[in-house]
Amino acid sequence: MEETLYMQNPWWMNREFNIGIIRKQSLDKLKSMALNNKVTMLLGGRRVGKTFLIYQYIDYLLKSRIKEKNILYLLLDTRAFEDITIVNLLREYRKIHNLSIDEKIYIFLDEIQYKDSWEQEVKNLYDTEPNIQIVLSGSASFKIHTKTSFLTGRYEIMNLYPLNFLEWIGIRGIKILPSESYKYQNELNEYLFKGGYPEYVIKEDPQYFPNLVDSIVYKDFVEYFNIKNLDIVKDLFKLLSDRTGSHSSLSKIGNILSISKETVREYIYALKGSFSVYELQRYSSSRNERIYFAKKYYLNDNGLQFNQSGKFNKGQSAERTLFDYLYKKYSDSIYFYYDNKVEVDFILKYQDRLELIESKYINDISEFNPKSLLKAMKSLDVTNATVITESVEEELVFDEKKIIFIPLWKVLVKQII
C-alpha cells in the first residue's frame, strides 16, 4: 500500500506531475470554497477535468509553501484500496511521514463514490480533526446525494462542467480584440461542433467519445443497476441526442426501445446522475403537469451530442449551448413552454416575472416566423421576448409586443441575458 500511496502523491518525492489545462475561473472558485472550513464536494461528469482541477489546487498549495508531506491524494477506485477504509489509509499516510494528529493536512478523495461508507468516515474526520481540509470528488451524483445527509451543514458543492465558450477560446490561445468581435461567430460555430471536453479539444481523438460513453455505461450503470443489456442504455443515449429540442414522453421512448416506462425513468435518472443528460420540464402552474408532461432532454456537451447522433445539426447544437448557459445561470427557474400546440424553447421565471427565449440560429430575419412566439406572449401577458440567432441583431415590434434578436456569441461572451 505504501508504494501505491507514493505513486499517487509524486510531490512527496519532488517529482513533477501533470496539472492539465489551467481552468482559472474554476480553480479560483475551488480555492475560495476551500477557505470556508467545510468539506468541498467537487462533482461533475467523467472526464470534465475534476482530477486535473484537484492537481491544480495541489500545485497552488505547493507554490504557497505548504509542505509536500502535508498533502494526501487518494484515488479511491484503486484496487489496492478496495478493502481499506479511508481512516486506515489516513493512518498509514501519517505513519509514513510521522505526522502528529495536530499537524495541518490537506486530503483529496477522488471518485468518492467507490467507498460505500465514505459519508460516515468523512463526517467523523470533519467532526474530530479540525486540522484536516477535505476535498472530495465524484462523477455519479445518484450515488453521492443519497448519502450527504450525514454531512448536513458540513459541506459545499462545486459543480464542474465541460468547457464553456469563453474557456474554450482561452484554452486554444485565441486572442480577439474588441474591434474584432465578429471573430466570435466563427469560433462559436467550431465550438458548436467540437464541444468542450478538455482532452478532446486538445487531441481530437476519434475514439474519445465512444470510450467516454463506454466509461459511463460500464462503470456507472453496471455497478448501480446491474444491467445485463447495456446496448439499450447506449440506444437511449443516441435517442435522446436525436431528440434534442423536442419533448419526449417516457412511454414513447419505452415503446421505441421495447422497455417499460419505469425502466426508462430509472435509466434517465442514472444518466442525469452521471451528469451526462439534463432534463427540462414544461412550464405550468400545476405541479402535476410539470412532473408528468413530456420532458425535453439535452446532452451535456456538443461533441458528445454529435458523436451520439452521428450527424451535426447546427440549430440543435446552438439550442443545447443556449440551454447549457441558461441552466447554469438560472437552474430551477428555467422551463420550456407548450400550450395548444404553441411551443417556445425556454421560459425563465424569476423575480415574479416571465421571460420567453427562442433559439433560432439564423442569419436573416426573414427566416423567422413570429406567429407562435407572439401567441405565447399574448397568452402569458408578456411584453418582451428574445430570439437567439447566429448573427441577426435588431428589434421588432408587433402590436406593442417587442421581440429582441441577439446573436448567441454575444450572450455567451457578454452574458447579457
Phi-psi region of 47 (alpha: psi -120 to 50; beta: other; left: phi over 0): left
Out of 49-58, 192-201, 273-282, 287-296, least confident range: 287-296
- pLDDT (average), residues 129-150: 82
User: In whole angstroms, what is the distance from residue 323 CA to residue 344 CA?
Assistant: 13
Q: Tell me, what's the pLDDT at 143? A: 66
User: In whole angstroms, what is the distance from residue 348 CA to residue 333 CA?
Assistant: 6
Q: Are 297 and 309 within 8 A, CB to CB?
A: no
Q: Tell me, what's the pLDDT at 287? A: 79
The amino acid present at 259, given as its one-letter code, is: I
Q: Tell me, what's the pLDDT at 218? A: 81
At 297, phi and psi to the nearest 5?
A: -130, 140
The amino acid present at 186, given as its one-letter code, is: N
- Tell me the pairing of strands 353-359 and 394-398: unpaired
Q: Are 60 and 86 within 8 A, CB to CB?
A: no
Q: Tell me, what's the pLDDT at 405? A: 98
Domains of the chain as residue ranges with CATH: 2-160 (3.40.50.300), 206-310 (1.10.10.10)
CA dist list (Å): 70 to 4, 289, 370: 17, 53, 62
Q: Give the Cβ contact number of residue 128 at 10 Å.
A: 9
User: In whole angstroms, what is the distance from residue 329 CA to residue 35 CA?
Assistant: 24
The amino acid present at 133, given as its one-letter code, is: Q
Q: In DSSP terms, which residues pair with 221 in a beta bridge?
A: none
Q: Does this model's pTM top 0.85? A: yes
Q: Tell me, what's the pLDDT at 104? A: 95
Residue with cell 471518485: 111
Over the stretch 333-384, which tens digit does the pLDDT of each residue have? 999 999 989 999 999 998 788 999 999 999 999 999 999 999 999 999 999 9
Q: Tell me, what's the pLDDT at 292? A: 79
The amino acid present at 363, given as its one-letter code, is: N
Mean pLDDT (the chain) is 92
Give residue 216's pLDDT band: very low, low, confident or very high (50, 70, 90): confident
Q: Are 74 and 88 within 8 A, CB to CB?
A: no
